[in-house]
Every structure is written in structure tokens, then in C-alpha cells.
Amino acid sequence: MPNPTHFTKLENMYLSGKINQEIYKSVAIVVNEKSATITMQVDERYFHAGNSLHGSVYFKMLDDAAYFAVNSVVTDSFVYTTSFNIQILRPVKSGKITANGELKFASKNLFIADAILYDEKNREVARGSGNFMKSGIMLGEEIGYK
């Protein structure tokens, strides 16, 4: 059953993360049941020497969207990414990028989620799939879950 309060707390947790406060300041997130969408404005600070978005940004967007799709159904603990594979399909040089994550499989402690990254023309620019598991860290205000 959808839990809007849980989703809002997850969004707050994401936005309170130091990496998002200090590096990826133009990021936004929406968490729903078994899915998450993350958007970010492309910034030249994230470019490699070839003048397009560095692969680490593709990875972060895909992993984060998949991660929060998983944590949308885990209401008691923080989850960990145990493996994540990406395919970069095209370079991005400007505009807004959007990652859509979706939970594909859930068991007691193993979760699989996929994510697709789109540019502002709605072209698929990357995709990823990962495995996730519950951690011993409880969801609470001390980790920004509020």
C-alpha cells in the first residue's frame, strides 16, 4: 500500500545528503511506490575533458533512482547498493536530465531495480540495473529521514 509520508521522508533524506547539498545542488527527487524520479540541471562542472557529462554523473543518477525505488518498499531500514551496472548510450552537454528508477524484484533481503536516464529531449542516454539489500541502519532523523 502506498505510503506518502514514507516517500516524503525518503525525498528529504536524499536532499539532505552531503553530496547533494555540496556538489549536486540542482537536483530534485520524487519517490512513489516502487519507483523514483530524479532530475538535475546539467552543469559544466560535471564535464570531462571531452566537454560532456562525466560517467560518474550518469552512474549517480541511475543508482540513486533505482535505490529510492527499492527503499520505497523498505520502510524500516536504509538499503545498500551491492552491485550496479550501467550502459552509457550517448553524451549529454546541456539541459536537464531525468532518471526514472523502477523496482523489478523484491524478496526478504534482495532487491533488483532498473533505471533509465533521459535528456531533456526525452532521448534515452543511459540505463542501469542494480542489486540492493537491507542494511542494519534504521531509517530515522539522524540520517535525514524526517
pLDDT digit string (tens) for 60-111? Answer: 999 999 999 999 999 999 999 999 999 999 999 999 999 999 999 999 989 9
Which pLDDT band holds residue 145 (cuts at 50, 70, 90)?
Answer: very high
The full set of domain ranges for the chain reads 4-143
Q: What is the mean pLDDT of residues 26-47?
A: 96
Q: Is the pLDDT of residue 1 over 80?
A: no
Say how far residue 74 (Cα) sits from the centre of its chain: 15
Angle, CA of 136, 66 and 40, to the nearest 5°: 115
Candidates 3.10.129.10, 2.90.10.10, 3.40.640.10, 3.40.50.20; CATH matching 4-143: 3.10.129.10
pLDDT reported for residue 22: 86
10 touches 72 (CB < 8 A): yes
Compute the CA torsion angle 64, 29, 22, 89 (nearest 10 deg): 50
SS (H, E, C) 4-38: HHHHHHHHHHHHHCHHHHHCCCCEEEEEECCEEEE
d(CA 99, CA 80): 19
